[in-house]
Amino acid sequence: MIRHCKFCHVSMLVLAILGSFISPGMVLAQDQPVALNISARERLFHQLALDAEEFDKRNVLKRVVRLAKPSVVHLTAQKNIDDLTNRKVEEAGSGVLLEVNDTIYVLTNRHVIHPCKLDDIKIQLDNGRRVTAKSVLSDPATDLAVIEIEQADDLVAARTGDSTNLEIGDFVVAIGSPFGLSHSVTYGIISAKGRRDLKLGKQGVVIQNFIQTDAAINPGNSGGPLLSLRGEVVGINTAIASNSGGNEGIGFTIPINMAIVTAKKLVGGDGIERAYLGVRMDHNFVDTTALKLGLSHARGVRVTGIVANSPADKSHLQVNDVILAFNGEAIENDDHLSSMVGLTEVDSVIELLLIRKRKPLTVKVTLKHREEFEKGS
- Band of residue 257 on the pLDDT scale cut at 50, 70, 90: very high
Tell me the per-residue pLDDT of 96-105, one tens digit each, with 9 for 90 and over.
999 999 999 9
Tell me the per-residue pLDDT of 293-328, one tens digit each, with 9 for 90 and over.
999 999 999 999 999 999 999 999 999 999 999 999
Q: May I ask the CATH architecture of the domain 1-18+61-271?
A: Beta Barrel (2.40)
Q: What percent of the chain clears pLDDT 70, i.e. is strictly above it?
A: 85
Within the chain, which residue ranges are assigned CATH 2.30.42.10?
275-372
Q: E strands of 161-271, at which residues?
A: 171-176, 184-195, 210-213, 225-228, 233-241, 251-255
Tell me the per-residue pLDDT of 18-45, one tens digit each, with 9 for 90 and over.
444 444 444 444 555 567 788 888 999 8
pLDDT given at position 14: 47
pLDDT at 195 over 90: no
- Band of residue 202 on the pLDDT scale cut at 50, 70, 90: low
**Which residues are tagged catalytic?**
111, 143, 222
- Within the chain, how many helices (H) and strands (E) appear? 8, 21
What pTM does this model have? 0.75
Measured CA to CA, the distance from residue 258 to residue 44 in angstroms comes to 51
How many of the other CB atoms lie within 10 Å of CB of 51?
Answer: 14
How many of the other CB atoms lie within 10 Å of CB of 119?
Answer: 9
pLDDT given at position 1: 60
Within the chain, which residue ranges are assigned CATH 2.40.10.120?
1-18+61-271
pLDDT at 178 over 60: yes
Q: Fold for 275-372, please state it.
A: Pdz3 Domain (2.30.42)
